[in-house]
Structures are given as C-alpha cells and as structure tokens.
Amino acid sequence: MRTNWIAVALVFGLAGLTTVQAGETEQDIVNRYTKKIEKNHKLKTSWFSTNFTINRFNRDNDYNKFTLYQNTYMANGGFKWLNTGRSIGADFGIMVQKRMAWTVGGEYWLKLGQTLNGTFAYAPPAAAVTSVTNPSSKISVLGVTTGLQYFLFNGPSVGANVGKPSIRVTGTVGYYHATWDLWEQYQNLNLSTSTPAGVNAQLSGNSAGFTIGLGGDYPLKFWGLSLGADMNYLYLNFKKIAWYNTANEEVVATYGDTPGSRVVLGLSGLRGKIELKKYFTWW
C-alpha cells in the first residue's frame, strides 16, 4: 500500500498538480495524470537527407593565377583552372518552430585539380631544369555544417511532409578542412629562415564557410520521400593553407614567388544542390 501512494505522489510531482477527485482510487489517480502527461508530449517532425552539389567557383581566384604562373615553367604541358567542383553530403533536420528548422550535416568534395600524364621539363625561377613525370595538383575538402531553414509556405506538417511544394530560405555556417597535394619537385616559398626538410609535402588548412540561399521541396508519391533543390552562395577561402618545416614554420604555394603572392585557396561561388529527403516523427 505504501508503495502505491509513493507512485501517486511521484505522478503528482511530475504533473505539477495535487487535486484529487471524489471517489477516485489510487489507480484512477495514476491513470488520469499519466494520460495528462502523455497528452502534453508533442510529436517532433524531422528528416534525413542525402545530397549532391555542384559548385561554380569564382574564376578570379588565386589557384587559377597559380596555374597560369606555373604553366610558364612547365614545358609542353599545363594545369587547368578550377571552374566547378562536386560534393556529396548528408543532413539531419528538425522543426524547432512551426516554420523554422535546425539542420546539421557534413559534405565530402570529390577531388579537385588534375594530374598531367607524361614527362615534362620543369624550370622554376632560380632552380635547375628538372624532369617531372605525371605532375599532380589535387585538392580534397571535408566539411561539417549547421544552419537554419525558414519555410515561407507549405512547410512540413506533423507526421510527414505536406502534399504540396514548399519554398524556404536557408543559411548555414560550416567548418572545412582542405588538403592540397603538389608534385614533388614544386618549388615552394619558404616563409621562414629555416631550411625545409625533405621533399615537397602536403599543404593543408582549415576555414569557416558560410552559405545563404533559397530552396524548395516537392513531395514524391512513394516511400514518403521528397525531392529538394537549393541554389545558394558559398563563401569559403582557405587563407592559411601550407605545410611546415622542422621548425614548424610555413612553406606555401604562390603565384609569383613572393610573400605577397601567397595562394589563398578560394572556393567561393554559386552552388546548386539536389537532395532526397525522408521525413519522420518522434517524441
């Protein structure tokens, strides 16, 4: 008996009420307030999506200046500009208000740059001519993001997406890591007084990135899926991409062999994203 009254007291405490109706048994009281607690719980609408993105970079960037400069020293060969990039990713979203959603996600960029096939004479300034086989300039990028989406109309309803197309504005902030592999004989600029140890190494750097844009969803007729599309602008510039010598000092890539021509790896530009979304609900 004592145990039952303890249970009733706990229910009172959770419900924040102490009123007992006439003629109620202990079990009636427990059942009544348990139902009230369950009624106060609200279903949360969420989604999981996978996406594919095409990035259109601003053409006036330091990497393209770098290729133009290096191509003058690479006989019978040359690197192309960075014009577009592709990435794949996944996102999780949850409605935090009637029209507002919070998202978290990640993205992996497919390799940027290229490898030149063949053997070339490479003659950088103040260095002897070197024979280079299959020189490569390749960039990899990984990122994690979080952001907000505001549905202008026809946002997702409790239980599933609505049966009509929706429009939303989006914004994200992200943290990105880039690596840049250059051919072994590339003449880096040493921004220190110490002599670099070993052959050319991998440059790397981190940067914050920001997007703002407009998107929409179209509900499909199978498996409760929706097709989403976004157009936004990404601001992403790696200002500190380098490798480090034995004194932990920077060795960098340039487009003019001077400290003022250090390459800022700029990947800013327009991007278009297609995503497949699955909505679900939970307590």
DSSP character string of 256-271 = SSSGGGB--EE--EEE
**Residue 124, CB half-sphere, CA atoms under 13 Å: how many?**
18
Q: Span 112-139, mean pLDDT? A: 90
For the whole prediction, is pTM greater than 0.85? no
Banded model confidence at residue 50, pLDDT cuts 50, 70, 90? very high
Phi, psi of 67 (to 5 degrees): -65, -40
What separation, in Å, do the N-terminal and C-terminal C-alpha atoms of the chain show? 33
Kindly report, residue by residue over 233-264, the tens digit of the pLDDT. 999 999 999 988 777 778 899 998 888 899 99
Q: With contact defined as beta carbons under 8 Å apart, do 182 and 200 qualify?
A: yes
pLDDT of residue 255: 93
What is the spatial distance between Cα 231 and Cα 214, in angstroms, rounded to a whole number?
Answer: 6
What is the spatial distance between Cα 277 and Cα 257, in angstroms, rounded to a whole number?
Answer: 48
H-only helix segments in the chain: 2-15, 26-40, 62-71
Kindly report, residue by residue over 8-32, the tens digit of the pLDDT. 444 444 444 445 555 566 666 656 6
**Residue 170, CB half-sphere, CA atoms under 13 Å: how many?**
28
**Residue 261, CB half-sphere, CA atoms under 13 Å: how many?**
16
12 phi-psi bin (left φ>0, alpha ψ -120 to 50, beta other): alpha
Kindly report, residue by residue over 156-202, the tens digit of the pLDDT. 866 555 568 899 999 999 999 999 999 988 888 777 666 655 567 78
